[in-house]
Amino acid sequence: MPVVVLIGPPGSGKSTTGEFLAERLGVGFRDTDADVEQVAGKPIGDIFVEDGEEAFRALEAAAVRAALDEHEGVLALGGGAILDPATRELLAGHTVVYLKVGLDQAVRRVGLASARPLLVLNPRSQLRKLMEERRPLYEGLAVLTVATDDLEADVVADAVADAVADQIRAEPKPESE
């Protein structure tokens, strides 16, 4: 079971913050987007173009299930992973942290000429729509929300580490057999 699961839209800093956070907590880091690319043998953008969004979402859901079962460190989910109802159910009981980012910051971080498949046509407008649609899901799943605007990833990681430290220490450890 991961010690922390990071969720949020593209540009919120899940991967970068996750690496810093894992280092702070002395645990491993895993990113389900990287897992999907490894299984598919190609970048996410190519999966969307060649196989379609539905195929990508199926790979993503499987990657999240596996990571929630296997990984004991910090886990970053792809921005749209929370769209799957089964994934949302699996996240219950986990320390889920929503990295909240404003549109301007997300655009700056993602870049308007990015290889993100859902942002191809009119990236700023698409990102705004995506963020608005997903915000209630992110907020509903999170046990903690951390605003990332104007903060470096290491500062965000410190804030998350401080906020979840007591919770992590209080969780019962499984007894060894």
* CA–CA distance, 169 with 3 (Å, rounded to integer): 10
Tell me the pLDDT tens digit for each residue of 121-136: 556 677 788 889 999 9
What pTM does this model have?
0.86
* CA-wise closest residue to 117 among 79, 146, 62, 167: 79
Q: How many structural domains comprise the chain?
A: 1
On whether residue 175 sits in a domain, the answer given is: no
CATH number at residue 97: 3.40.50.300
Q: What average pLDDT score do residues 94-119 get?
A: 71
Mean pLDDT, all residues of the chain: 85
Tell me the pLDDT tens digit for each residue of 16-42: 999 999 999 999 999 999 999 999 999
On whether residue 171 sits in a domain, the answer given is: no
On whether residue 172 sits in a domain, the answer given is: no
On whether residue 159 sits in a domain, the answer given is: yes
On whether residue 103 sits in a domain, the answer given is: yes
Token look-up 């903690």 returns 144
User: Residue 110: which domain range?
Assistant: 4-166
On whether residue 177 sits in a domain, the answer given is: no
Q: In a 10 Å sphere around its CB, with 0-12 CB exposed, 13-18 middle and 19+ buried, how is residue 89 labelled?
A: exposed
